[in-house]
Amino acid sequence: MQTQLADFIRDTADGQVADDILRKCVHCGFCTATCPTYQLLGDELDGPRGRIYLIKQVLEGHEPSEKTRLHLDRCLTCRSCESTCPSGVQYGRLLDIGRHVVEQKVPRQGADRVVRWALREFVPRAGLFGAAMKAGRLVRGMLPEVLKDKVPLARPSGPWPRPRHARRMLALAGCVQPAMAPSINAAAARVLDTLGISLHEAPGGGCCGAVRHHLNDHAGGKADMKRNIDAWWPAVERGEVEAIVMTASGCGAQIKDYGHILRDDPLYADKARRISELTKDVSEIVVAEIDTLAGRLRARGGQPTPLAWHAPCTLQHGLKLRGGVERLLAAAGFELTPVRDAHLCCGSAGTYSLLQPALSHTLRDSKLAALGEGGATLIASANIGCITHLQAGTTTPVRHWIELIDARLNGFPI
CA distance 371 to 386: 13
Residue 363 in contact with ligand SF4, rule: CB under 6 A = no
186 binds ligand SF4 (CB under 6 A): no
Residue 90 has, within 13 A of its CA and on its CB side, a CA count of 13
Q: Which stretch binds ligand SF4 (CB under 6 A): 41-49, 128-136, 368-376, 389-397?
A: 41-49
- Please tell me whether residue 35 binds ligand SF4 under the rule CB under 6 A: yes
CB-wise, 76 or 379, nearer to ligand SF4?
A: 76
CA geometry: angle at 261 spanning 255 and 262, to 5°? 100
Contacts with ligand SF4 in 87-106 (CB under 6 A)? 87, 89, 91
Question: What letter would DSSP give residue 152?
Answer: P
DSSP 57-85: HHHTTPPP-HHHHHHHHT-----HHHHH-
Cβ-based neighbour number of residue 296 at 10 Å: 17
Distance CA 66, CA 106 (A): 7
Q: 56, 71, 80, 332: which one contacts ligand SF4 (CB under 6 A)?
A: 80
Order of strands across the sheet with 378-381?
334-336, 305-309, 378-381, 398-400
Of 15, 18, 36, 149, the residue at the interface with ligand SF4 (CB under 6 A) is 36
Rule CB under 6 A: choose which of 69, 79, 150, 280 binds ligand SF4: 79
Is residue 78 part of the contact set for ligand SF4 (CB under 6 A)? yes
85 binds ligand SF4 (CB under 6 A): yes
Cα(132)–Cα(122) distance, integer angstroms: 10
Least separation, in Å, of the C-beta of 373 and ligand SF4?
Answer: 23
81 is a site residue for ligand SF4 (CB under 6 A) = yes
Binding of ligand SF4 at residue 49 (CB under 6 A)?
yes
Q: Determine which residue in the list 51, 93, 256, 274 makes contact with ligand SF4, applying CB under 6 A.
A: 51
Out of 76, 211, 236, 392, the only residue in the binding site for ligand SF4 (CB under 6 A) is 76
Q: If 0-12 CB within 10 Å is exposed, 13-18 middle and 19+ buried, where does residue 384 land?
A: buried
When asked if residue 75 is in the footprint of ligand SF4 (CB under 6 A), the reply is: yes
Cα end-to-end span (Å), the chain: 51
Residues constituting the chain: 414
Q: Of these, 9, 18, 37, 319, which contacts ligand SF4 (CB under 6 A)?
A: 37
> Greatest CA separation found in the chain?
66
Contact (CB, 8 A) for 15 and 28: no
Closest to ligand SF4 by CB, 90 vs 157, is 90
Residue 213 contacts ligand SF4 per CB under 6 A: no
Is residue 30 a contact point for ligand SF4 (CB under 6 A)?
Answer: yes
Confirm or reject binding of residue 366 to ligand SF4 (CB under 6 A).
Answer: no
Spatial distance between the Cα atoms of 406 and 414, rounded to a whole number of angstroms: 9
Instruction: Give the nearer residue to ligand SF4 in terms of CB position, either 33 or 288.
Output: 33
Q: Give the binding range for ligand SF4 (CB under 6 A) out of 44-52, 138-146, 194-202, 256-264.
A: 44-52
- Minimum CB distance to ligand SF4 smaller for 95 or for 376: 95
Min separation Cβ 317 and ligand SF4, Å:
8
The residues pairing with 167 across neighbouring beta strands, listed in sequence order, are 197
| Cα distance between residue 392 and residue 76, in whole Å | 19
Query: At closest approach, how far in Å is the CB of 368 from ligand SF4?
Result: 19
Angle of the 66-73 helix axis to the 48-59 helix axis, nearest 10 = 140
The nearer residue to ligand SF4, 87 or 396, going by C-beta atoms, is 87
Using CB under 6 A as the binding rule, whether residue 385 contacts ligand SF4 is answered as: no
Distance, in Å, from the CA atom of 104 to the CA atom of 59, rounded to the nearest integer, reads: 13
Nearest to 38 by CA among 4, 74, 62, 68: 74
CB of 160 to ligand SF4, least distance (A): 36
Stretch that binds ligand SF4, among 61-69, 78-86, 137-145, 333-341 (CB under 6 A): 78-86
Q: Is 131 in the site for ligand SF4 (CB under 6 A)?
A: no
Which residues of this protein are in contact with ligand SF4, per CB under 6 A?
Answer: 25-31, 35-37, 47-49, 51-52, 75-81, 84-85, 87, 89, 91
